[in-house]
């Protein structure tokens, strides 16, 4: 892994840690000290699964080329990486799934915002050409472009702050915050995708699936009775 990717990962980790620290300090439901460890290991698991999937998709056998697993710059499959991270969170929090998932919801969005903002270290913020006042050009180029990664970072950090305050002021029902965070993460990538250089259409389907799955889960969890709710009429 090259140093610019490490710098972006460090920004993401700091943003995630800051959100979790704020939630613990304010005593939000579901906040606990082990969430940081779960989040870190989930990110590693997701990167590993995504890298292996990318290698297999490129026709590279991970068993015959184990060193290539560490070449993250060579490609990480977005969908499998997300599924790998979510699967790890589900396993790590299997005895208190919604508590862990909700506890990580805003922090995960903050971490994603940090990763996108890390484009400044990677010199990879720019997307399609634009004449907007804040558009800028790569070094040595006269074409100004959208800072699309920064757009995503701003949207995600706003969502993380809003979700954190919502959990603080009026805790939603179990599972709603996590489901909403999934929909937001997919939605931000979906709306900014047209401003990115077109490399592949594959991720768009994954982002759309995240939005749909997240919104369905929000609807499902919001309809369930909360703790202490009165039972419904007997059939």
Distance set, CA 69 to CA 5, 56, 76 (Å) = 15, 11, 10
Q: How confident is the model at residue 202, as a pLDDT? A: 61
| Cα distance between the two ends of the chain | 60
d(CA 34, CA 39): 9
Q: Does residue 233 fall inside a structural domain?
A: no
Q: Does residue 232 fall inside a structural domain?
A: no
Partners of 144 in beta bridges: 137
pTM reported for the whole predicted model: 0.87
Question: How distant is the alpha carbon of residue 178 from its chain centre?
Answer: 11
Q: Does residue 228 fall inside a structural domain?
A: no
Q: How confident is the model at residue 16, as a pLDDT? A: 94
What sign does the dihedral 179-206-4-63 (CA atoms) show? positive
Q: Does residue 230 fall inside a structural domain?
A: no
Report the domain count for the chain.
Answer: 1
Q: How confident is the model at residue 2, as a pLDDT? A: 54
pLDDT tens-digit map of 33-58: 789 999 999 999 998 998 899 899 88
Determine the length of the chain: 235
The H or E element spanning position 223 is: helix 202-223
Which residues span the domain enclosing 114? 3-223
In 3-state terms, what secondary structure has residue 29? Answer: coil
Helical residues (DSSP H) of 58-147, grouped into ranges = 78-92, 97-117, 119-122
Written as six digits, the tokens of 160 are: 């993380």
d(CA 235, CA 232): 9
d(CA 15, CA 20): 9
pLDDT tens-digit map of 58-85: 899 988 888 888 777 667 888 899 999 9
The C-alpha angle with vertex 190 and arms to 109 and 86, in degrees rounded to 5, equals 45
* Phi then psi dihedrals of residue 61, to 5 deg: -80, 115
Q: Does residue 231 fall inside a structural domain?
A: no
Describe the crossing of helices 78-92 and 35-57 by its angle, rounded to 10 degrees: 150
Q: Does residue 139 fall inside a structural domain?
A: yes
Q: Does residue 101 fall inside a structural domain?
A: yes
Give strand ranges (E) for 83-227. 136-137, 144-145
pLDDT tens for the chain, 235 residues long, are: 456 777 888 999 999 999 999 998 888 866 677 899 999 999 999 989 988 998 998 899 988 888 888 777 667 888 899 999 999 999 999 889 999 999 999 999 999 999 999 999 888 899 999 999 999 998 888 899 999 999 999 999 999 999 999 999 988 999 999 999 999 999 999 999 999 876 555 678 889 999 999 999 999 998 876 554 444 444 3
The C-alpha angle with vertex 210 and arms to 171 and 69, in degrees rounded to 5, equals 115
Q: Does residue 229 fall inside a structural domain?
A: no
| Other beta carbons within 10 Å of 142 | 6
């Amino acid at each position: 892994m090259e140093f610019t990717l490490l710098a972006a990962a460090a920004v993401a980790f700091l943003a995630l840690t800051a959100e979790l620290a704020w939630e613990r300090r304010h005593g939000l439901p579901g906040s606990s000290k082990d969430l940081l460890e779960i989040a870190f290991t989930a990110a590693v698991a997701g990167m590993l699964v995504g890298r292996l999937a990318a290698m297999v998709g490129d026709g590279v056998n991970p068993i015959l080329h184990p060193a290539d697993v560490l070449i993250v710059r060579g490609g990480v499959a977005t969908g499998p990486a997300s599924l790998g991270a979510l699967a790890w969170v589900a396993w790590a929090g299997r005895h208190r799934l919604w508590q862990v998932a909700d506890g990580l919801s805003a922090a995960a969005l903050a971490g994603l915002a940090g990763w996108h903002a890390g484009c400044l270290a990677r010199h990879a913020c720019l997307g399609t050409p634009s004449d907007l006042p804040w558009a800028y050009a790569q070094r040595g180029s006269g074409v100004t472009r959208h800072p699309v990664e920064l757009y995503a970072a701003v949207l995600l950090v706003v969502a993380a702050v809003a979700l954190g305050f919502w959990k603080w002021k009026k805790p939603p029902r179990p599972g709603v915050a996590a489901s909403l965070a999934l929909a937001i993460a997919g939605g931000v990538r979906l709306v900014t995708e047209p401003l990115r250089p077109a490399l592949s259409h594959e991720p768009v389907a994954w982002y759309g699936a995240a939005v749909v799955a997240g919104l369905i889960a929000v609807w499902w969890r919001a309809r369930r009775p909360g703790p202490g709710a009165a039972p419904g009429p007997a059939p």
